Amino acid sequence: MEKEFTYEDYQSTAEWLLSHTEHRPQGAVICGSGLGGLADKVTQAQAFEYSEIPSFPQSTVPHHAGRLVFGFLNGRACVVMQGRFHFYKGYPLWKVTFPVRVFQLMGVDTLVVTNAAGGLNPRFEVGDIMMICDHINMLGFSGQSPLRGPSDERFGPRFPAVSDAYDRNLRQKAHWAWKQMGEQRELQEGTCVMLGGPNFETIAECRLLLNLGADAVGMSTVPEVIVARHCGLRNFGFSLITNKVIMSYESLQKANHEEVLQSGKQAAEKLEQFVSILMASILSCDKAI
C-alpha cells in the first residue's frame, strides 16, 4: 500500500517548481478531456512534463498531454494543468488532488476547474457551457474522500465547510464575461455530480441522478474542488456538455469517449476563450482591491 503524501512532500514539489521557473502563478486551471487547448493560449509559456516533476502522478488518459504550463492568460499569471488524474485509473484520491496543494504552496489563490460532462438537465444542448454552482459527491457517499486519513492543520481544518465551494463573486463575473462574448446560447448554471467511472451511466442511474438534483454528470473535478476549498483557494468551474445522457430504454444511442471528444471539439474552443476572458476580469478586480 502506498504511503500518503506528507506536508513536506507537497512543499518539496512546490519548492522544486519555484526554483525551476521565474513564473509566480496567481491562478491555476485544470483542463478536462478535450480542453487542453487552453494551454496554447498561455503567453511566455514554460512547460514541464509531469514525469519531470518530483512526486507528480502521471496522466494516463488518451488526449491528455500531461504537462504543467506556466505563463500568462490575458495578463493573469497562471499555471495550466494540461491533463488531470482520475480515480478510475486506480489513483487514490489523495494522489488525484496532489497538484492542488502544491499550487496553494506556490502562492495560487484561485482554482478554475473544467470538465467534459453528460447533460442530465433536459434544457441543455450539446455544446452548452454549464457554470458549476454546486456538486454532488457520490464517491463521498461511500466514504471516498480526498481528505480521508491524517489531517494536517497547515492546509486546513479537520471538518471543512464546502457549502460555499464555488465562489459566488466569481460566478457573477462569469456571467459578465459571457455577455462580452455575445453568445446566442445563455450560460447555463447547475449542479454537477461525480461518479467513479470509467463506464458511462445506465439509464436508471441517469434518471436517479436527475431526480437527486444533478444537471450534469462526469468522472472528475469534485475531489480537486474539495481539496482546494479545504486549503483556502477560491474555486469556480465549468462543465462542457459534450453529450446528452440516455434517458429512454427505446433509444439505440450509446455514449463513448471518442464521440464525447469529437462532439465537444468546437465548443471546447468557446470554453477556452471564455476562461481566458474571465481570467483577465479577475486580474482587473484584484488590482482594484
Largest distance between two CA atoms of the chain? 58
Contact (Cβ atoms closer than 8 angstroms) between residue 90 and residue 37: no
Tell me if 130 is assigned to some domain.
yes
Domain tally, the chain: 1
Tell me if 74 is assigned to some domain.
yes
Q: How many CA atoms lie within 13 A of 201 on its CB side?
A: 27
pLDDT band at 261 (very low <50, low <70, confident <90, very high): low
- Per residue in 198-224, pLDDT (tens digit) is 999 999 999 999 999 999 999 999 999
Tell me if 100 is assigned to some domain.
yes
Backbone angles phi, psi at 209, to 5 degrees: -60, -40
Backbone angles phi, psi at 71, to 5 degrees: 160, -145
Tell me if 234 is assigned to some domain.
yes
Tell me if 244 is assigned to some domain.
yes
pTM score, whole prediction: 0.93
The whole-number average pLDDT for the span 87-93 is 93
DSSP three-state, residue 20: helix
Rounded-to-integer distance, Cα 149 and Cα 89, Å: 21
Q: How many CA atoms lie within 13 A of 106 on its CB side?
A: 31
Contact (Cβ atoms closer than 8 angstroms) between residue 29 and residue 275: yes
Mean pLDDT check: name the lowest of 23-32, 73-82, 195-204, 261-270.
261-270
The whole-number average pLDDT for the span 81-89 is 92
pLDDT band at 255 (very low <50, low <70, confident <90, very high): confident
Give residues with Cβ within 8 angstroms of 147, minimum separation 6: 160, 226, 227, 230
Contact (Cβ atoms closer than 8 angstroms) between residue 230 and residue 160: yes
Rounded-to-integer distance, Cα 54 and Cα 32, Å: 23
Rounded-to-integer distance, Cα 289 and Cα 287, Å: 6
Tell me if 87 is assigned to some domain.
yes
> ∠ at Cα 234 (277, 89), nearest 5°?
90
Tell me if 3 is assigned to some domain.
no
Rounded-to-integer distance, Cα 7 and Cα 79, Å: 21
Query: What is the extent of the structural domain holding 188?
Result: 8-288
Percent of the chain exceeding pLDDT 90 equals 72
Tell me if 2 is assigned to some domain.
no
Q: How many CA atoms lie within 13 A of 55 on its CB side?
A: 24
Name the DSSP letter for residue 129: E
Mean pLDDT check: name the lowest of 150-159, 199-208, 229-238, 277-286.
277-286
How much is the mean pLDDT over the chain? Answer: 90
Rounded-to-integer distance, Cα 12 and Cα 1, Å: 22
Rounded-to-integer distance, Cα 45 and Cα 103, Å: 17
- Per residue in 61-80, pLDDT (tens digit) is 555 569 999 999 989 999 99
Rounded-to-integer distance, Cα 155 and Cα 178, Å: 33
User: CATH number for the domain including 260?
Assistant: 3.40.50.1580
Name the DSSP letter for residue 85: -
Name the DSSP letter for residue 234: E
